[in-house]
């Protein structure tokens, strides 16, 4: 009887020892996970707040839903989903120190971040293209309408859905990355299926959009420099402000720099994996590109929305529950000028109320 008890106790100890040994060791210091969790918490709060504010302001002021602003609304929706499905989940998993919520959640997070990230990227491309049309091709720019914006967005969301769904059906896959607290495309998978996906993905979802953005904003800046003032805001005194031109140029440069800061590391990682499959990438280095991409929902609303004074006035009105009253006159005359080859080809003016209509950059 004693032999049986001794044997059972020995088996229990062995089993307990086995369980302890088979727990996967952390590949990143505990303090490192805590720092990442704190940073992603801040990122989540700012992402959700900024984009929720944009959506609330747009929906509260229906007159803001102009053709160009519909694109900004779509950008805010996709960025909000990145914050909820990406940054929020990563905050929790980093706090825990491992991806403890299972494989299904991992696949869902990878799909969501990939899909909504692509939608944001392609929407930025569409915004650049439409701004180029308004400034450099006035005849095309004048045709911009809500209908055209919606059709453009439908194409963007369906196009991005294809590239997000493909890994679910075997063309590449989703899985843990880097320090194993977030999920995305399986960059480390060494297979021709994965390589072919990454090649087409990089070409069609990054290189071509980047080329379009660079070309559109380069032509836009060139036109602005030739004329000296692309869009002038005529104040009540009837004089145009050169500061508006400087502000527009700085915003264009901010858009381009922010775009590359967000997406270039992400794309560089995929190219490196394809070019040198045998290269060992440290976990932290493999993780950082996705973290850079997750910061885009923070500064996109600031650059594309909150940098506009009239948008800010509408946002302050929402935040103050209608108590905020904009300083100065409530009505300004906004005159948009489109340029081509250094000459004013067309212009049209509208008298607008700052609470009812906003013309974005």
pLDDT digit string, tens, across residues 15-36: 444 333 333 445 678 888 898 8
pLDDT on residue 27: 66
Instruction: Sketch the domain layout of the chain as residue ranges.
Output: 28-305
What is the pTM for the complete model shown? 0.77
Average pLDDT in the chain: 76
Does the pLDDT value for residue 166 go beyond 50?
yes
Query: Which residue's structure tokens are 């506009």?
Result: 308
CA 41 from centre of chain: 17
d(CA 117, CA 295): 11
Give the DSSP H or E segment for 349: strand 343-353
Does the pLDDT value for residue 160 go beyond 90?
yes
d(CA 105, CA 170): 18
Least confident of 85-94, 319-328, 331-340: 331-340
- Torsion 250-256-259-262 (CA) sign: negative
Rg (Cα) of the chain, in Å, rounded?
Answer: 25
**Are the beta carbons of 211 and 196 closer than 8 angstroms?**
no
Please state which CATH number belongs to domain 28-305: 1.20.1070.10
Percent of the chain clearing pLDDT 70 (strictly above): 75
Where would I find the H helices in the chain?
A: 2-22, 30-60, 67-82, 88-96, 103-136, 138-141, 146-165, 192-202, 208-227, 242-275, 283-293, 296-301, 309-319
Closest to 135 in 3D by CA, of 249, 234, 301: 249
Confidence of residue 51 (pLDDT cuts 50, 70, 90): very high
Q: What's the average model confidence in pLDDT over 98-127? A: 91
Does the pLDDT value for residue 155 go beyond 70?
yes
Confidence of residue 333 (pLDDT cuts 50, 70, 90): very low
d(CA 75, CA 120): 5
pLDDT on residue 91: 93
Burial class (CB in 10 A: 0-12, 13-18, 19+), 126: buried
Q: Which two tokens stand for residue 159?
A: 């196009």
Residue 194 backbone phi and psi in degrees, to 5 = -70, -40
Q: At what angle do helices 242-275 and 192-202 cross, to 10 degrees?
A: 160
């Amino acid at each position: 009887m004693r032999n049986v008890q001794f044997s059972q106790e020995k088996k229990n100890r062995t089993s307990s020892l086995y369980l302890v040994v088979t727990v996967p060791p952390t590949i990143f210091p505990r303090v490192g996970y805590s720092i990442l969790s704190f940073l992603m918490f801040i990122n989540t709060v700012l992402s959700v707040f900024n984009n929720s504010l944009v959506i609330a302001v747009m929906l509260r002021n229906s007159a803001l839903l102009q053709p160009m602003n519909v694109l900004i609304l779509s950008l805010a929706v996709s960025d909000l989903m990145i914050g909820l499905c990406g940054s929020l989940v990563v905050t929790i998993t980093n706090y825990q120190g491992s991806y403890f919520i299972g494989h299904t959640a991992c696949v869902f997070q990878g799909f969501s971040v990939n899909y909504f990230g692509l939608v944001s990227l392609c929407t930025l491309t569409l915004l650049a293209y439409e701004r180029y049309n308004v400034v450099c091709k006035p005849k095309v720019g004048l045709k911009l309408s809500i209908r055209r914006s919606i059709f453009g967005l439908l194409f963007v969301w369906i196009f991005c859905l294809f590239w997000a769904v493909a890994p679910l059906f075997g063309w590449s896959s989703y899985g843990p990355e880097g320090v194993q607290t977030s999920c995305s495309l399986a960059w480390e998978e060494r297979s021709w299926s994965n390589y072919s996906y990454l090649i087409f993905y990089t070409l069609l979802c990054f290189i071509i959009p980047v080329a379009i953005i660079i070309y559109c904003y380069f032509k836009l800046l060139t036109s602005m420099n030739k004329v000296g003032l692309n869009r002038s805001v005529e104040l009540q005194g009837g004089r145009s402000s050169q500061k508006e031109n400087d502000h527009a140029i700085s915003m264009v440069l901010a858009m381009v720099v922010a775009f590359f800061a967000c997406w270039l590391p992400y794309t560089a990682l995929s190219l490196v994996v394809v070019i040198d499959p045998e290269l060992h990438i440290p976990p932290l280095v493999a993780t950082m590109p996705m973290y850079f991409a997750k910061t885009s929902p923070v500064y996109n609303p600031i650059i594309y929305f909150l940098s506009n004074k009239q948008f800010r006035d509408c946002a302050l009105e929402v935040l103050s529950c209608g108590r905020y009253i904009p300083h100065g006159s409530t009505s300004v005359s906004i005159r948009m000028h489109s340029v081509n080859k250094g000459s004013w080809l067309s212009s049209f003016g509208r008298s607008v109320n700052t609470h009812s209509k906003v013309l974005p950059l």
